[in-house]
């Protein structure tokens, strides 16, 4: 791959981050309603056109990106911490604890895809906080399974056994001797999960379960875009392409990290 292609994903991600920060710094919130200019096609005043309430799609896309970033990072951090803790305990102790914890994850995994997140978000009620709670409640399982598998094989490594025989405590073993070896696989996993949480957030918002009006979110914008597809195809197209560029960039970055850190897929 040529050198320019190599940096493309990182560049796209960087571009989005800069754009979001820029929009934030000039206080571009995209909530200004202009009923004289609804569903306008891209023009000089509004580069991406306007939505069904005459709000700038550019501003709202950037605002939606910001929401996406915030949720993805927060949920990833929370689910990773919880999942890694559960996985370490299950993998390290084995036996009954392991069986119980894995039984619980089996139950969570019996709900396909984001069904459980939809169910949680549905009963918790809409809103950004509840959306994040719903995603956290379901997101830890993957990390738990991953970490458990790794911990199972790592706990019999010589340096762990040596440390154990020298009388190291369990927290010390886990934190100093096992966790560092999980670093690269977790970084790769976290990168992919940023993308999948952005998708999940947008899915839930698409269904009306996430971010509520008038706040912008890509899911809700896509839903509105579908509604006005016949009169204003640019709306759905712009939001769709934005989402695609960001998701693709993050996933490709994940691939690059995986190759770089030499993580084999589980």
Partner 1 sequence: MIKRLLNIIPVVFGVLLLTFLLIHLVPGDPVEVMLGDSASIADRAQLREDLGLNQPLVSQFGAYLGKLAHGDLGKSIHTNTPIVDLLKARYPATLKLACLSLLIGLAIGIPLGIYAALKAGHWQDFLVTIVSVRFSAMPAFWLGPMLMLLFAVWLGWVPVSGMDEPTSILLPALTLGFGLSAILTRMTRTSLLEVLNDDFIRTARAKGLGEKTVIVRHALRAALLPIVTIVGLQMGSLLAGTVITETIFSWDGIGRLLVESIEKRDYPVTQACVLAIALSYVLVNLATDLLYAHLDPRVKHVI
Q: Does 144 bind partner 1 (CB under 8 A)?
A: no
- Of 74 and 251, the one with the shorter C-beta distance to partner 1 is 251
Stretch that binds partner 1, among 16-24, 51-59, 67-75, 232-240 (CB under 8 A): 232-240
Assess contact for 209 and 121: CB atoms under 8 A.
yes
Q: Does 118 bind partner 1 (CB under 8 A)?
A: yes
What lies within 8 Å, CB to CB, of 213 at 6+ separation is 220
Query: CA torsion, points 147, 152, 156, 159, in degrees to nearest 10?
Result: 0
Residue 47 has a CB neighbour count (10 Å cut-off) of 12
- Of 62 and 114, the one with the shorter C-beta distance to partner 1 is 114
- Which of 148, 158, 166, 141 lies closest to 92 in space, CA to CA? 148
Q: Which of 16, 48, 120, 143 binds partner 1 (CB under 8 A)?
A: 120
Q: Does 229 bind partner 1 (CB under 8 A)?
A: yes
Q: Does 259 bind partner 1 (CB under 8 A)?
A: no
Q: Does 35 bind partner 1 (CB under 8 A)?
A: no
Q: Which of 82, 119, 152, 187 binds partner 1 (CB under 8 A)?
A: 119
Over 150-163, what HEC string results? HHHHHCCCHHHHHH
Q: Does 82 bind partner 1 (CB under 8 A)?
A: no
Q: Does 113 bind partner 1 (CB under 8 A)?
A: yes
- Which structure tokens are listed for 180? 């560092």
Q: Does 9 bind partner 1 (CB under 8 A)?
A: no
Q: Which of 116, 132, 151, 174 binds partner 1 (CB under 8 A)?
A: 116
DSSP notation for 155-223: TTSHHHHHHHHTT--HHHIIIIIIHHHHHHHHHHHHHHHHHHHHHHHHHHHHTTSSSPTTS--HHHHHH
Q: Which of 188, 209, 216, 246 binds partner 1 (CB under 8 A)?
A: 209
Q: Does 195 bind partner 1 (CB under 8 A)?
A: yes
Q: Which of 65, 80, 186, 202 binds partner 1 (CB under 8 A)?
A: 202
Assess contact for 216 and 30: CB atoms under 8 A.
yes
Find the angle CA(128)-CA(42)-CA(33) to the nearest 5 degrees. Answer: 50
Q: Please give the Cα distance from 103 to 127 (Å, whole number).
A: 31
- Of 190 and 236, the one with the shorter C-beta distance to partner 1 is 236
Distance of closest approach, residue 161 Cβ to partner 1, in angstroms: 29
Q: Does 190 bind partner 1 (CB under 8 A)?
A: no
Q: Does 136 bind partner 1 (CB under 8 A)?
A: no
For residue 56, list its beta bridge partners: 50
Residue 61, SS3 per DSSP: helix
Q: Which of 114, 128, 131, 257 binds partner 1 (CB under 8 A)?
A: 114
Assess contact for 56 and 29: CB atoms under 8 A.
no
Q: Which positions lie near partner 1, rule CB under 8 A? A: 103-104, 106-108, 110-116, 118-120, 122-125, 195-196, 199, 202-203, 206-209, 219, 222-223, 225-226, 229-230, 233, 236-237, 240, 243-244, 247-248, 251-252, 255
């Amino acid at each position: 791959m040529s050198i320019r292609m190599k940096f493309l994903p990182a560049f796209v991600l960087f571009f989005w981050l800069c754009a979001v920060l820029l929009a934030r710094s000039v206080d571009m919130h995209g909530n200004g309603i202009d009923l004289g200019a609804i569903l306008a096609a891209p023009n000089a005043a509004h580069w991406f056109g306007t939505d069904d309430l005459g709000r700038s799609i550019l501003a709202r896309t950037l605002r939606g990106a910001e929401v996406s970033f915030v949720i993805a990072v927060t949920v990833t951090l929370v689910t990773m911490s919880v999942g890694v803790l559960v996985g370490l305990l299950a993998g390290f102790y084995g036996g009954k604890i392991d069986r119980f914890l894995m039984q619980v994850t089996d139950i969570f995994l019996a709900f396909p895809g984001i069904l459980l997140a939809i169910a949680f978000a549905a009963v918790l009620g809409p809103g950004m906080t509840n959306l994040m709670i719903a995603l956290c409640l379901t997101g830890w399982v993957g990390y738990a399974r991953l970490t458990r598998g790794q911990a199972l094989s790592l706990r019999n490594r010589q340096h762990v056994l040596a440390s154990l025989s020298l009388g190291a405590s369990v927290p010390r073993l886990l934190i100093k001797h096992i966790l560092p070896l999980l670093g690269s696989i977790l970084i790769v996993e976290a990168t992919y999960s940023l993308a999948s949480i952005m998708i999940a957030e947008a899915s839930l918002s698409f269904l009306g379960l996430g971010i509520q009006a008038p706040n912008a979110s890509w899911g809700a914008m896509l839903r509105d875009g579908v509604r006005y597809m016949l009169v204003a195809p640019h709306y759905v197209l712009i939001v769709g392409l934005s989402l695609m560029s960001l998701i693709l960039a993050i996933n490709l970055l994940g691939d690059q990290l995986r190759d770089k850190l030499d993580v084999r897929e589980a």
